């Protein structure tokens, strides 16, 4: 069944947690993140940043961008998941969580798309991004903007994002990192991944 054939109310805030999206060609499930995913999300973020971006940023930026996983970081994500203003999805295969992404609909912001390096080049990031874009559309968001890391430029450009300017992103620590200010106008004609209700 195509996601377009499903009642869009199933993607409302109250029902967001009951859908699983199936990317059949990837053998990967994409589903809403839950609080129990916090450890996997942070651990994956650390690995992805330090392996995938290491040739683009100096160590001091990487170490600030994604500090060593600990209970403080896990709790930060748990609180964000509980609050619900930032919507998270995770991609998983037989080995567990291999990617995640998030949007903040009220800010029209694409906040994150990360894939574990061992699952790279399989289309997982693109599948996560399509899911997040559909979630945005379902909430009346007609464009997404973001600060993209420079190592992700080609990925987002292939997905239709345009560069507004090259600038800096200020991390929570106050340190700045080079980034790309990007945006994309979303359309209702997007291709939907296969989906069915979670059991």
Q: What's the gap between Cα 61 and its chain centre?
A: 21
pLDDT at 8: 33
Task: Please tell me the distance from the alpha carbon of residue 39 to that of residue 77, in angstroms, as a whole number.
Answer: 8
Q: How many CB atoms are located within 10 Å of the residue 189 CB? A: 6
Spatial CA neighbour of 86 closest among 40, 26, 41, 153: 41
Within 8 A by CB and 6+ apart from 153, the residues are 163, 180
Cα–Cα distance between 93 and 84 in angstroms, integer?
25
DSSP E strand stretches across the chain: 19-23, 28-32, 87-93, 96-104, 109-115, 143-149, 162-170, 176-185, 194-197
Give the three-state DSSP class for 42: helix
Q: Helix, strand or coil for residue 52? A: helix
Residue in this structure with the two tokens 């377009």, named with its chain if needed: 4
* pLDDT 10s digits, 42-100: 999 999 999 999 999 999 999 999 999 999 999 999 999 999 999 999 999 999 999 99
What phi and psi, each to the nearest 5 degrees, are found at residue 127? -65, -40
139-154 average pLDDT score: 96
Domains in the chain with CATH codes = 19-193 (3.40.630.30)
Residue 109 has pLDDT above 90, yes or no: yes
What is the pTM assigned to this prediction? 0.83
Q: Express each pLDDT in 29-45 by its tens digit.
A: 999 999 999 999 999 99
């Amino acid at each position: 069944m195509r996601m377009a054939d499903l009642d869009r109310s199933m993607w409302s805030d109250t029902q967001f947690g009951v859908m699983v999206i199936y990317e059949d060609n990837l053998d990967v499930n994409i589903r809403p993140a839950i609080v129990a995913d916090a450890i996997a999300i942070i651990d994956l973020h650390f690995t992805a940043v330090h392996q995938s971006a290491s040739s683009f940023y100096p160590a001091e930026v990487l170490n600030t961008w994604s500090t060593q996983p600990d209970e403080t970081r896990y709790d930060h994500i748990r609180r964000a998941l509980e609050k619900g203003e930032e919507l998270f999805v995770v991609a998983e295969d037989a080995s567990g969580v291999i990617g995640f992404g998030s949007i903040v609909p009220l800010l029209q912001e694409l906040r994150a798309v990360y894939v574990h390096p061992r699952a790279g080049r399989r289309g997982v990031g693109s599948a996560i991004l399509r899911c997040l874009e559909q979630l945005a559309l379902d909430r009346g968001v007609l464009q997404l903007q973001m600060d993209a890391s420079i190592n992700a430029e080609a990925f987002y450009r292939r997905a239709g994002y345009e560069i507004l300017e090259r600038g800096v992103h200020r991390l929570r620590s106050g340190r700045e990192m080079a980034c790309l200010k990007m945006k994309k106008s979303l359309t209702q004609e997007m291709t939907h991944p296969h989906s069915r209700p979670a059991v």
